Amino acid sequence: MTHVTHLECSMTGERYVAGEPHGLSKVGRPILVRYDLDQVKRDLTKEQLAQRTEGFWRYRELLPVEKAENRVSLGEVVTPILPLRRMQKKVGATGDLLVKDEGRLPTGSFKARGLALAVSMAKEFGIEHMAMPTNGNAGAALAAYASAAGIRTTVFCPDDTPKVNVDEIAFQGADVRLVNGLINDCGKIVGEGKEAVGWFDVSTLKEPYRIEGKKTMGLELAEQLGWTLPDVIFYPTGGGTGLIGMWKAFDELEQIGFIGPERPKMVAVQATGCAPIVKAFEEGEEHAPVWQDAWTAAAGIRVPVAVGDFLILRAVRESGGFAMAVEEEDIFASWAEVAREEGFLLCPEGAATYAAYRRSLDEGLIKPTDRALLFNCATGLKYPMTAEVGRLDRSTPIDYSQFKA
């Protein structure tokens, strides 16, 4: 059973019928799923949720899959929210500094949420071939979930995508092609190939259901925090599906009576080498033009153009939040600092959120008393690390004084 009533264009509000595949709306903008929230309010209680254990599928009344047998699952968990107490103390904050660790999900990133829903709906619609552009983690999630569903996949990656990601995608069953360009160039190939090949385009925000998967981050964190929300959320923003999804989740939770009208400041975090959302925010624009010569080693936020740019900017502005670009050196300094001080291995995109948190405190954009939540979007184990490592020759006498503080 589903509580979906219809779908609608995020820009014009034009309605689309549920129960059949959709891409972008007629005006080329993302399509959103709408629910009978009055019925959800009657059918779902907080007490019922507390008894459920099946990861983000626990929120099935607020998800679009109609038949339970079409849910494609690889053992999703509720990802933990962990305190960064040493870092909080180091920056002089009195409000909690928390991180939601999405690296615990299947395929090691938050892309599992969106692709689990997109693939489940593809299974429900009988789609046999899916294609996407990716900087790495989304392709891995698509390959894994589609293979579990028996759906063929073709994935296009920029040719400088980390080898571990490319190998992961291929190993899990996708036909992977490296492209001499950026993710938007890969996306153009996917779009142009729809008619010639017949695949379904599952690019970021170009179908309605990845948003529904990503919104479970908002549903989950609200429940984990006792049906309250943080004062501020720092989100690593490429295509921005998760930020858009969480904003949608908070609205739906309020409408079913689970939370009040309070909202966190939403902060879109990008890198200075690829910051189209930041530029549009600072210039008061509704849309963000393509960022030329985009570069950051935090590949997940190296997205030169986002089809849902206006939705990202709308959420940031409505929340009283802001968009911030952080320097490459600050991303990697933060990555190393949190690993060394907390024993927490962020991914570079997650490290960018900590760098933005520190700068926001320094610049007075947030208060030291604010409860802040950072998103670590993937396990740091997927990324190459560099560190100085000493060597010992066991065949010679060892000077143990070198190990003293």
pLDDT at 95 over 90: yes
Please tell me whether residue 131 adopts helix, strand or coil conformation.
strand
pLDDT bracket for residue 6 (50, 70, 90) = very high
Asked, for residue 162, whether it belongs to a domain, the answer is no
Cα–Cα distance measured from residue 262 to residue 229, given in angstroms and rounded to the nearest whole number: 8
SS3 of 374, please?
strand
pLDDT at 162 over 90: no
Residue 193 lies in a domain: no
DSSP string spanning 24-77?
S-TTS--EEEEE-HHHHHHH--HHHHHT--SGGGGGGGGS---SGGG---S---
End-to-end CA distance of the chain: 63
Mean pLDDT across 203-224:
97
351-383, pLDDT tens digit by residue?
999 999 999 999 999 999 999 999 999 999 998
SS3 235: strand
- As for how many domains the chain has, the answer is 1
pLDDT grade for 387, boundaries at 50, 70 and 90: confident
Nearest one of 378, 243, 224 to 321, comparing CA atoms: 243
pLDDT at 384 over 90: no
Domain assignment of residue 356, yes or no: yes
State residue 314's pLDDT score: 97
In the structure encoding, which two tokens stand for residue 401, read together? 């004084």
Q: Can you tell me the mean pLDDT for 4-15? A: 97
Please compute the mean of the pLDDT values over residues 70-95 and round it to a whole number: 97
- Cα separation, 205 vs 332, whole angstroms: 29
Is residue 385 over pLDDT 90? no
Question: Is pLDDT above 90 for 308?
Answer: yes
CA angle in degrees (0–180, nearest 5) for 314-320-325: 75
Phi/psi of residue 257, each to 5°? 85, 15
The number of residues making up the chain comes to 405
From edge to edge, which strands make up the β-sheet containing 232-236? 81-83, 97-101, 372-376, 232-236, 265-271, 322-326
Sole residue written with tokens 């929210």: 81
Mean pLDDT computed over 275-289: 97
Query: Which residue segment(s) compose the domain that 219 sits in?
Result: 81-105+210-382
In the chain, how long is the greatest CA-to-CA distance?
Answer: 78
Structure tokens at 89: 């103390």
Enumerate residues 6+ apart whose C-beta is below 8 A from 260: 254
State whether residue 119 is helix, strand or coil.
helix
The predicted structure's pLDDT at residue 388: 81
- The reported pLDDT for the residue numbered 405 is 81
The model's confidence at residue 346, banded by pLDDT at 50, 70 and 90, is very high
Q: Please give the structure tokens belonging to residue 351.
A: 């490290």
Q: What is the mean pLDDT of residues 318-326?
A: 98
CATH of the domain at 282: 3.40.50.1100
- The mean pLDDT value for 113-135 works out to 97
Domain assignment of residue 378, yes or no = yes
CB distance 377 to 236 below 8 Å: yes
> What confidence tier does 180 reach under pLDDT thresholds 50, 70, 90?
very high
pLDDT number for residue 358: 98
- The percentage of the chain sitting over the pLDDT mark of 70, rounded to a whole number, equals 100
How far apart CA 210 and CA 218 sit, in angstroms, is: 14
Any domain includes 244: yes
Mean pLDDT of 279-292: 96
What mean pLDDT, rounded, does the chain reach?
Answer: 96
Q: Is residue 16 part of a domain?
A: no
Q: Flag whether 205 is in a domain.
A: no
- Note whether residue 68 is domain-resident: no
- pLDDT at residue number 12: 97
Q: Are strands 200-201 and 175-179 parallel, antiparallel or unpaired?
A: unpaired
